[in-house]
Structure formats: C-alpha cells, structure tokens
Chain A
Amino acid sequence: MKPDKAENHTLAGGISRRDVLGGAAGAVLALATASRAHAAGEEFRFGLTPVFRSDDLVLLDELRTFLEASLQQPVSLITRRTYQEITSLLVSGQCHAAWICGYPFVQHRQQLALVAVPVWQGQPLYRSYLIAAEHRQGNSIDDLRGDIHAFSDPNSNSGYLVTRTLLARRHIRPEDFFRKSFFTYGHRNVIRSVAVGLANSGSVDGYVWEVVAQQEPELTAKTRVISKSELMGFPPIACATKLRDSAMILKFKKALIHAHSNPQAQKLLSTLRLDGLTSSPASLFDSIAAEVEIVRGLG
C-alpha cells in the first residue's frame, strides 16, 4: 500500500517514534491547557501498547517529561501487557490517546480516529517479517510448517494478523499449520524467542526488527528474515472519535506533527529511529482492513 499525501507533512531528517510520542504528548497538554476542555489540572492519559520498549522505564520517563513540558499539564503514561487492554481503555475513554496498532484501529474504526502516524524511513509505512533461526533455509511461510511459532499479540497486525492472513489465503488455521504457537506480547520477545530457540519461527514487526538489529545486533544475528510482507500503515496514535475535534486532541495532534522541531522530541524520535509523525487518512490502513476480511472469511 502506498502512503498517501499525508507523508508530505513529515519533515526531513530523522524523527523517532519517541519524538512523535513526545510531540503528541506535548500537543495534548497544550490543547488541554488552551481549550479547558477538561478540568484544570486533569492529567493527560496517554496509552502505550508494548509495541516497542514499553518496559524501558528511562524512555518512559523521558517521554513523560517531554509531554508534560509540551502540554503544560500532568501526563500519565498508561502501559498494559496487551493491545486489547490499551484499545479497550482508549475506546472506553479512559485514555485520551494511545499508540496502538493498525489492526485494532481497523477493528474499531467507528470508535477511533487517527491523530498522527509515525514516519519511518521516510514514510508512515512498515512491514511484517517472518523470522526463523539463523541456520534455517527457505523464503516462504510454507517453509515454516510444523514449527513452534511465536506471535507478538493477537491484536497485532504485523505480529499476528499478517501471518494469520497468509495462512487464511491457504485456507489453513495457525493451530493446524504450526505444531504450536504462543504469544509473547512484545515484538522484541518474538525475536528473542526465535534467537534462543524457544520458537522455531516468529511473526514480528519489521520496524522493530530493524531497530533491534541496530541496537542489539547480536540478538537479531541469531535470526533470519524468511519473508517480508507488503508495506502497510505504521501503528498509529489514535483517539476516541468523540474527542477527535476537541481542542485538546487538536493541540496534541499539532504538537505531534511538529515534534521534529522540538529538541526533546528529536531525542526521543532519534532513540526510536523515527523520522517524525504525520497526519494521515484512515485509508492508510485499508490493506489491513482487507486482511481482516480475509481472515474473517476463513471463519
């Protein structure tokens, strides 16, 4: 899937997801403060899925500091073990915004609205990787039959849905194709599972694999990418539809889109190896929606 024109909003230079998060948080804070949409002193709650490094407390501290400085109001970072939990919090309004995955966004398209989409390697797109142990041969999912397979999360596009769709196209369910599959609830955990031999293969976020390859090359060196999916919409920052036009969300969105110009956000973006964040239409995730349909078709 090609990125839409929204990517033109992305500024040149490296913008990391952390910057995006920071920018987003700052924007949310600014919006909240300016609009008084929420009671004064109310904290801005930003949900984080374990897409990437949600267990890095230092990174979370930096993100919160940046967001509080940007929004000029208290910020609470909400982390949960699964995508499902964060999505539920977002849909139910217990989070003002959250960095979720394209799959839950598609699943809850009516309740959720896009705030911004991170830009990686110049576009708000990424791929899903099928990986296996470094010594494994093959270049197709067909070569992974009978494996113990590690998924990331049942609500992850790259860490589950893509592989599930590949199998659906073959009219087969994962439990029939793999000898055993399990969820690690973290893309890095998938890489680690395959690297140590806990799983024979795994489905992982291509963006995460590439970043880990830069930061922990000894870990990814024990894995081999068997195949890569088509480009799909990068996991977005979303909010509840009802808040989409609120001053707080608009401010938050503006802060995220311009996060690349904030020094604190630049540091976060650099850590996350992101170029920045951009405003994208929901159609960016049509390909994921199509995959969902394919899977549903299999029953």
Chain B
Amino acid sequence: MRQGPASLKKGLPITVKVPAFVALLVMLVSVIISQRVLSRLEVTQERQLTTLATTYLDGLVNTLIPAVQREDIWEVFEAVDRAHKLYVAIRPLETVVTAANGSIIASSDPGKMAPLAKPPSEFLDKFADTQLVIDNRNSIAYLRKDIRRQSRLLGAVYSTFDISYLIRERREVLSTLVVTNTLLALLFAALGYWAIRRMVQPIRTLAEHLRSGISDSATKIPAEEFPGSGNELISLYEGYNALVDAENERKELAGTLHEEERMAGLGRLASGMAHEINNPLGGMFNALDTLERYADNASARNTSISLLKRGLSNIRDVVRSTLLTYRTDDDPKPLTRGDLEDLRILVKPELRRRQLQLDWKNDLNGELPVQRSEVRQIALNLLLNACTASPPGTWISFSASHSGQALHIEIIDCGPGMPDDAMRYLTTTDSINAPMRVSAGLGLWMVRRLLNNLSGTITVKNLDPRGARVRVSIRPQPESLQHVA
C-alpha cells in the first residue's frame, strides 16, 4: 500500500488514539475521585474513632473514679482489663491509669507499665490534651483523659488504640478503587476502540477503494458494504460510485476514441499505402503494356522489367514497414537502425499530404536492447503528431542517437507549440490514470502509455518563436537485455 506524506505524519490510527484518550481521561478522573474518596474516608474514620475512643474513656473514667480515689490497684486493673475485653470493637492496645502524682496505679499490661512507676516520658509525649492523636505510620491512636471528682484531679487515663484496621480499610478501598477504575478504563478503551473502529470502518472502506482506484482501476463500492441507513456517509459512498461510473465512462469513451483514432490512422495508413502502391502501379501497368506490345524489343523489355522491379520493390517496402510497425510482437527484438529508417517510409504519405519536409538524422549503429515495436510506435506517433502540428510548407526534424545502450530521439516541429495541458499530460507519469482532454490527442495517450511500459522519460519544450521539441530517452529494461542476450 502506498503511503503519502500525510499518512507518514499521522502516527497512531484514530481507532487507537481515541480509546487511549478515553482510558487516560477515565484514569485521570478516577485518580481525582479516589483521592477525594480516601480523603473523606480518612476524615470519617477519624471522627468515628474520636467518638468511640472518647466514649471508651468516658465510660472507663466513670467506673474508675472510686478505685482511683482509693488507689486500688486491683480494682483499677480489673476495670481496665474488663474494658479491654468489652470494647473489642475499638481495639484498645494499652491503657494506663495514673494517680494525681503521676505514678501508675495500674495498666492493662502491668509487665510493661508496673504499678507505682512513672510512665516513660516518650509514652506521655505522644498524648495531646484531650485530643485524639493519630499516628498513621505506626497505626496507633493516642487519647488521654483526666479523672476528676468535684473539680479535684484524681489522676488520668492514657489509652492507645490499634487503628491498623482503619489503615487496612483505606488500603482496601484504594485497591478496590484502583482495580475498579482500571477495569472501567480498560472497558471504556475497549468499547471506544470497538465503537471508533465501527464508526471509521466506512471511511476505511472508502479509502481502500480510493487507493485501489489510484493504483489500479477504480471499482464501485458494493451495496452490501454501504453504511447502515441514516449514516451521513451514504451520500459520500454514492458520490464515490458516481465518480467511478463517470471515470469508467470516460475510459470507455477514451477507448472508443482511441479505437476510432486507430481506425482513422489505419485509414490514413491505408490511404497512404494505397497511394504508395498506386503510384508505381500506373508505371507498372505501362511497363506491362510495353512488354505486351514490345516483347521482342530487348531494350523496352529490360526497361519495363526494371520498372516493374522498382515498383514491386517500393510496394514491398511499404508493406513490410507497415507490418513491422503495427505487428504485436510477443517476442521483442532489439532495435536496429533499419527499424527507425522504416518510419521514413510510413510517414512519407503524411509528409506529402501536409506538404512538409523531413530533416532526418539516424545515428544508430548496431542493435540497442530496447523493444523496437514500442519504440517505433512512439516515434511514429510523435512524427505524425509533429506533422499534424506543423503548418503546410514547413518542416519537421527527426534525430536518433544513443549513449551507451540508451536511445535518444528528438523530434522538432514548426507548429504553434504544444498546449500546456498536453505537455503536462505527456510529461506526467501517472497521467495515464488522470482524466484526459480529447484535445490532447490519443497519440499522446499512446506515447505516454508506451513510455510507462518502457520506463522511458520524455521532455517537451516549446521553441521560440514557434515549434516544439520533444525528447525521448529509453533505457534498456532487464527483460529486454535478457532477450537481447
């Protein structure tokens, strides 16, 4: 498939770009939503934790007041131990009850915080005044509450809580959000890919037909490949099919015109051949009359026979040249000097009819590995075109040369110069597929087609003050070389 500059620049197809963009958008939205959800969850968790922890300590303090007042180690311990078992939901890790002097009365873990000792300062430093302190890194929350009775400070309760379940809950929510949003993004991407692919399919179909139309003959889009009813692209499809119809009609017309041109050419050729054959025929009949009348006269007989020979020789040359030029040769042979010389004979009737002079120059020696049939047709068409373009009484020029194995042909006429569209048509490689104006001439179409076949090049230049010069260069093709070899 051919890729133009635009296709090289476009990068990823739209069927990938749009779903990727949608997925990216979904991920972006999910990140923002996740952040908001987690933030709200954290605030809610902290509020609930504060409520629960405060309730826990309030209840514990009320229970502890008489025991703390008596500094009853066992009762304080039992109350704390019972509270730890009772308030499992809030997950108290450690509770320390101190007396007014700051010494420990009892704790939930006496082995760590023994009665009568002072709590370590690093433990006390983690508590703020009646505010819940949350240490997310260690998954622990800290809360303390003073024990007072009748405005008298009896002691304090310090409690730590395990909040790992809250952290875990946040992680689970985050994981759920990530997994869900990723799945949603992938789902949206897949749906987007499917939808976009479905949407651009008609465009792809149209593009395929357009590409195949450029590289080959354009074909209509079958009805079954048309988009569904209501699609805006239906009119585009219909337009494309109408264009293909028009192009096919044009080609058909061009073919017809070409055939007519060929027939006209054949007519002219036949007329020329008839003329060329008719010319000697009169002399030849005279010679036959002479022979019948003066058969015994050796001089007359010899002269008549000589005349008959020349006449027949001329007729043979004309017939042979025509055969060679218009033969469809499946076994191409290399070009020889003589192949081009034949063209002089073929073009002679047209020269005579147009009253033109031919400046002929043929520098070819030996054989050139190019297909002679196509070359001769190119040269003949260009010569006939030059004849047509040149006004009567003027001249045309033909020269053939070679450099190495490349053939160079130059034809000059005295016409008004080649029209721009014909010149553009002749010098553009893909003109063969482009619409052709009838005025450009089917001869030029033939030349362009043959040059494409031979990979030849052509340049056209209008001369000052009048005339046009056409130069053709044809290099041997590998298969030609093979045939030559």
Contact = CB atoms under 8 A, between A and B. Distances in A.
Q: Chain A, interface size: which category?
A: 10 to 19
A196 B73 contact: no
Interface string B178-195: 000000000000000000
A101 to B, nearest CB: 19
Contacts of B72: 182
A189 interface: yes
Contacts of B109: 196-197
Contact of A197 (B74, B78, B110, B116): B110
Most chain B beta-carbon contacts within 10 A, residue among A150, A182, A189, A199: A182
B115 A180 contact: yes
A193 B111 contact: no
Interface residues of B, number: 12
Contacts of B111: 196-197
Nearest to A150: B74
B74 A180 contact: no
Interface string B97-139: 0000000001001110011100000000000000000000000
A199 B72 CA distance: 12
Query: What's the dominant secondary structure at chain B's contact region?
Result: loop
A183 B77 CA distance: 12
B106 A198 contact: yes
A184 interface: yes
B367 to A, nearest CB: 116
A182 B73 contact: yes
A179 interface: yes
Contacts of A189: 74, 78
A197 B73 contact: no
A211 interface: no
Interface in A182-214: 182-185, 189, 193, 196-199
Contacts of B114: 148, 197-198
A197 B111 CA distance: 5
Contact of A183 (B74, B110, B115, B116): B74
Contacts, number: 36
Which of A179, A185, A193 has the most C-beta atoms of chain B within 10 angstroms of its own C-beta?
A193
Interface in A42-92: none
Q: Which of A180, A193, A198 has the most CB of B within 10 A?
A: A198
Nearest to B107: A198
Interface string A157-187: 0000000000000000000000110111100
Given A182-B72, A198-B106, A198-B110, A193 B116 contact: no
Contact of B116 (A150, A179, A184): A179
A198 B74 contact: yes
B115 to A, nearest CB: 6
A150 B75 CA distance: 12
B340 to A, nearest CB: 121
B110 A180 contact: no
Nearest to A186: B74
Contacts of B74: 150, 182-185, 189, 193, 198
A198 B77 contact: yes
Nearest to B72: A182
A204 B106 CA distance: 21
A183 B73 CA distance: 8
A150 B109 CA distance: 16
Max chain A C-beta neighbours (<10 A), residue from B74, B114, B116: B74
Contacts of A180: 73, 115-116
Contacts of A150: 74
A189 B76 CA distance: 13
A150 B73 CA distance: 9
Given A180-B73, A189-B78, 11 more contacts: A148-B73, A148-B116, A180-B115, A182-B72, A193-B74, A196-B77, A197-B114, A198-B73, A198-B114, A198-B115, A199-B73
The 4 closest A-B pairs by CB, nearest first: A197-B111, A197-B110, A198-B110, A182-B73
11 contacts: A148-B114, A148-B115, A150-B74, A180-B115, A182-B73, A185-B74, A193-B74, A197-B111, A198-B77, A198-B106, A198-B110
